[in-house]
């Protein structure tokens, strides 16, 4: 391991360090998830239940979380596209764009929302900042009360950068999927038929 890449370790990582870190991450996630407004999340679920295609757009790790959400929504039988993929078609009226940005100012994500709005699509946003430009463009906003990735001295989280936002974003999108699925009569075997078989 190249120790200069992470700085000089002052002591070896011990099992107790791992236990403390697991506890820290678990407690922060539990606390923050408990502060997410379930009515905001239900509003996104209502948009997902409408007819129309679903598009997802996010940068970095938030974008990776939305890709996971896109996969689960596809398993439910929805037509889902990831912005930036070569086969993603144009978004249009009646479609839904799911976007995520902790700050709500990520330029590419805001631009995607602006394009979707001009095309007549609905927008659902996940952010830490309900007064951000991204939130202002959205028809539904879920506020995740976590630190922004540039807020290094935050008292909200001891974790690095936007980790807490991304972790809770994953849980919220999983809860969305689970709630939508629970309100169908589709068995797991039916969803599994849509799972990728070109792996």
CA distance 111 to 107: 6
Q: Catalytic one among 14, 28, 114, 166?
A: 166
**3-state secondary structure (DSSP) of residue 80:** strand
List, edge to edge, every strand of the sheet that includes 54-58: 80-82, 54-58, 96-100, 122-127, 140-143
- 189 annotated active-site: no
Backbone angles phi, psi at 8, to 5 degrees: -85, 120
Angle at 36 between CA 50 and CA 148, to 5 degrees: 105
CA 165 – CA 32 distance, rounded (Å): 9
CB neighbours of residue 72 within 10 Å = 18
The residues that are catalytic are 166
């Amino acid at each position: 391991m190249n120790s200069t890449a992470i700085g000089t370790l002052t002591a070896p990582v011990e099992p107790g360090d791992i236990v403390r870190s697991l506890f820290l991450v678990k407690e922060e996630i539990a606390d923050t998830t408990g502060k997410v407004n379930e009515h905001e999340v239900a509003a996104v679920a209502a948009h997902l239940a409408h007819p129309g295609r679903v598009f997802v757009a996010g940068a970095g790790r938030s974008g990776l979380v939305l890709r996971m959400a896109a996969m689960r929504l596809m398993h439910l039988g929805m037509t889902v596209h990831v912005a930036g993929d070569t086969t993603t078609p144009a978004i249009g009226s009646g479609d839904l764009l799911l976007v995520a940005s902790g700050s709500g100012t990520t330029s590419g994500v805001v631009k995607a929302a602006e394009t979707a709005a001009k095309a007549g699509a609905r927008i659902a946003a996940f952010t830490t900042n309900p007064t951000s430009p991204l939130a202002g463009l959205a028809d539904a906003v879920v506020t995740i009360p976590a630190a922004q990735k540039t807020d290094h001295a935050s008292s909200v989280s001891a974790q690095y950068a936007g980790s807490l936002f991304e972790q809770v974003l994953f849980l919220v999108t999983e809860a969305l999927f689970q709630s939508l699925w629970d309100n169908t009569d589709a068995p797991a075997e039916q969803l599994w038929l849509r799972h990728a078989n070109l792996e």
